[in-house]
Amino acid sequence: MKKSSAIAALGALAQETRLDIFRLLVQKGPQGMAAGEIGERLGQPPPTLSFHLNQLRFAGMVTSRRVSRSIIYSANFKAMSDLLAYLTENCCGGRAELCAPRASAGCSSECAPPAPVQSRKSRRISV
Amino acid sequence: MKKSSAIAALGALAQETRLDIFRLLVQKGPQGMAAGEIGERLGQPPPTLSFHLNQLRFAGMVTSRRVSRSIIYSANFKAMSDLLAYLTENCCGGRAELCAPRASAGCSSECAPPAPVQSRKSRRISV
DNA sequence: TTCATAGTTCCATATTTATAGAAATATCAT
DNA sequence: ATGATATTTCTATAAATATGGAACTATGAA
């Protein structure tokens, strides 16, 4: 994944209405949901909703298809997983053992907090 | 994870310099890196860098600790994994079998594109 | 103390992003 | 055609975010 795509994806999701839209669509699954229904659920006026759906679409996080008068939006699951992979890429310099318990998908699950590092000489430090 | 935390995290990462910083720190692992070294690597003037480090810190994506004159920043791996979990939460309404091949961590790996939905009556549609 | 180093905060400016009314487009039913 | 529904584009305005110079704070060394 290119950096610019990741920034676009993150930026698309970093807004309350759009995050709501995206999670709604993630939960809805591949069948998707019509723009109108999304707007009803989230209480957004059509132009505002359309703006946000466009942002998500340009960022590649959703796809759309017309069905009769409705436009059906669906989450782009591939884009989501690519983004997650990008964020965790080469975690801990490849030495995932530095990332504590159940570091399954290359560190993405759960990593140790950086507190108890002190590799050799235990050095006392302040925050 | 609360929605506001997710938005803060996504917003923090949705900016080129900050994404660079975060990925650098993810790859560096728990030992972290001094602000100065980050600035050198990314070619950012100190005030700009400090601004972005603060954004990441307020969003909970990095932690900082002082070591002598340096301030060492580290990625917050827990925050990252919480964010990833939030994004994929209840994927496909819990029926992860709707999300195609190797849907390991609740859909986060790879999900089917929404193209071949057509649950019952195969309806021809245009895009 | 004084100096050099490492970072931060303050501030003004520039840029980007969000909101929603009004008008326009597309589809379907009559 | 005409009207109703579904959604978008246009537009102006408002709000949030990014940038970097100048000045400030904290730490350690001479």
Q: How confident is the model over B4-14, as pLDDT tens digits?
A: 999 999 999 99
| Mean pLDDT estimate for chain B | 80
CA–C1' gap, A8 and D15, in angstroms? 21
CA–C1' gap, B94 and C27, in angstroms? 34
CA–C1' gap, B26 and C2, in angstroms? 40
Min Cα distance B110 → chain A (Å) is 6
Quick one: which of B84, B31, B119 has its CA closest to A106?
B84
The arithmetic mean of pLDDT across residues A51-65, rounded, is: 97
State the pLDDT at residue B98: 66
Residue linked to tokens 């949705």:
B14
B26 close to B80: Cβ distance less than 8 angstroms: yes
- Return the residue in A18, A98, A108, A127 with the most chain B beta carbons within 10 A, the one to mutate for interface testing: A108
> Would you say residue A116 has pLDDT above 80?
no
State the pLDDT at residue A98: 67
Residue A76: list chain B partners with CB under 8 A. 113-114
State the pLDDT at residue B92: 81
- pLDDT, tens digit (0-9, with 9 covering 90-100), for A73-85: 999 999 999 999 9
The arithmetic mean of pLDDT across residues A37-45, rounded, is: 96
The arithmetic mean of pLDDT across residues B95-108, rounded, is: 49
State the pLDDT at residue B59: 97
> Would you say residue A27 has pLDDT above 60?
yes
Percent of chain B exceeding pLDDT 70 equals 75
State the pLDDT at residue B99: 64
List of residues 6+ apart from B125 with CB closer than 8 A: A65, A66, A67
Q: Euclidean distance between the first and final Cα of chain B, in Å?
A: 36
> Would you say residue B67 has pLDDT above 50?
yes
State the pLDDT at residue A74: 97
Quick one: which of A62, A86, A26, A14 has its CA closest to B106?
A26
Percent of chain A exceeding pLDDT 70 equals 75
Confidence label for B40 from pLDDT (cuts 50, 70 and 90)? very high
**Cα gap A65→A24, rounded to integer Å:** 17
**Burial, A42: exposed, middle or buried (Cβ in 10 Å; 0-12, 13-18, 19+)?**
middle
**Cα gap B72→A118, rounded to integer Å:** 13
Residue linked to tokens 């790879």:
B110
State the pLDDT at residue B89: 84
Quick one: which of B115, B55, B83, B60 has its CA closest to A23?
B83
Q: Which 8-state DSSP code applies to residue B14?
A: S
User: Which amino acid, residue B73?
Assistant: Y
| Mean pLDDT estimate for chain A | 80
> Would you say residue B60 has pLDDT above 60?
yes
The arithmetic mean of pLDDT across residues B25-50, rounded, is: 96
Residue A10: list chain B partners with CB under 8 A. 10-11, 13-14, 19
Torsion of Cα atoms, A80 then A81 then A84 then A88, to 10°? -160
| Option in A30, A66, A107 nearest B98 (CB) | A30
The arithmetic mean of pLDDT across residues A81-104, rounded, is: 73
- Return the residue in A3, A10, A76, A126 with the most chain B beta carbons within 10 A, the one to mutate for interface testing: A10
List of residues 6+ apart from B24 with CB closer than 8 A: B33, B38, B41, B42
Residue linked to tokens 């019509």:
A34
State the pLDDT at residue B91: 83
Min Cα distance A115 → chain B (Å) is 8
A52 close to A44: Cβ distance less than 8 angstroms: yes
CA distances from A14 to B83, B84, B91 (A): 12, 13, 19
State the pLDDT at residue A92: 82
| Residue B36 contacts strand C, CB under 7 A | yes
State the pLDDT at residue B101: 40
